[in-house]
Amino acid sequence: MDLTRPCGAVSVARVAATPAGPSPLLRTGDDGIGPGRSGALRYPRPARDAGAAVPGAAGVAGRPRDERARGSCVSHRARVGRGRRGLVRAASAPGTAGTPDAGSGPARRQPRLLIAHPSPDVYGSDRQLLETVDGARRAGWTVQVVLPSPGPLVELLRERGATVRVVDFPVLRKALLRPGPLVGLAARGAVSVATVARGLRRLGPDVVYVNTVTIPFWLLAARLAGVPALAHVHEAEEDQPMLVRRALAAPFLLADEVVVNSAAARRVLLDAVPALAGRTTVVHNGVPGPPADAPPPRPRRAGDPARLALVGRLSPRKGIDVALEAVALLVAQGRDVSLTVCGTPFPGYEWYEQELTERAARPDLAGRVHLAGYVHPTWDVLADADVVLVPSRVEPFGNTAAEALLARRPVVASGVQGLAEVVVDGRTGLLVPAGDAPALASAVAALLDEPGTARRLADEGLADARRRFSTERYGRDVVAALERCGGPSTTRGTSA
What is the pLDDT tens value at each position of the chain, 496 positions in all?
Answer: 556 544 333 333 333 333 333 332 222 222 232 223 222 222 233 333 333 333 333 334 444 433 433 344 434 433 333 333 233 232 232 333 343 444 445 556 899 999 999 999 888 889 999 999 999 999 999 999 999 999 999 999 999 999 999 998 888 866 555 545 555 556 666 768 988 999 999 999 999 999 989 999 999 999 999 999 999 999 888 888 898 889 889 999 999 999 999 999 999 999 999 999 999 999 999 999 999 888 888 888 888 999 999 999 999 999 999 999 999 999 999 999 999 999 999 888 999 999 999 999 999 999 999 999 999 899 999 999 999 999 999 999 999 999 999 999 999 999 999 999 999 999 999 999 999 999 999 999 999 999 999 999 999 999 999 999 999 999 999 999 999 987 666 544 333 3
Residue 444 domain-assigned? yes
Quick one: 200 and 260 in the same domain? yes
Residue 292 domain-assigned? no
Quick one: 133 and 248 in the same domain? yes
Quick one: 248 and 320 in the same domain? no
Quick one: 217 and 319 in the same domain? no
Residue 493 domain-assigned? no
Quick one: 311 and 271 in the same domain? no
- Are the C-beta atoms of 489 and 483 separated by less than 8 Å? yes
Residue 21 domain-assigned? yes
Q: How many domains does the chain have?
A: 2
Residue 4 domain-assigned? no
Residue 291 domain-assigned? no
Residue 92 domain-assigned? yes
Quick one: 312 and 280 in the same domain? no
Backbone angles phi, psi at 5, to 5 degrees: -135, 115
Print the domain residue range for 50: 10-286+472-485
Quick one: 223 and 359 in the same domain? no
Element (H, E) at 163: strand 163-166
What span, in angstroms and rounded, lies between the C-alpha atoms of 496 and 492?
A: 10
Quick one: 64 and 201 in the same domain? yes
Quick one: 463 and 479 in the same domain? no
What span, in angstroms and rounded, lies between the C-alpha atoms of 112 and 486?
A: 12
What span, in angstroms and rounded, lies between the C-alpha atoms of 267 and 262?
A: 9
Quick one: 95 and 202 in the same domain? yes
Quick one: 396 and 341 in the same domain? yes
Contacts 24+ apart (CB under 8 A), 346-352: 346/173, 346/313, 346/314, 346/315, 347/173, 348/173, 348/175, 349/175, 349/313, 349/314, 349/315, 349/316, 352/314, 352/315, 352/316, 352/321
Quick one: 177 and 315 in the same domain? no
Residue 98 domain-assigned? yes
List, in sequence order, the alpha helices (H) in 226-339. 242-249, 263-272, 320-332
CA distances from 122 to 54, 118, 341, 393 (A): 32, 11, 16, 21
List, in sequence order, the alpha helices (H) in 165-213. 179-203
Please report the pLDDT score of residue 175 as a whole number: 53
Packed helices 451-468 and 437-449: angle between N→C axes, nearest 10 degrees: 110
- CATH number, residue 370: 3.40.50.2000
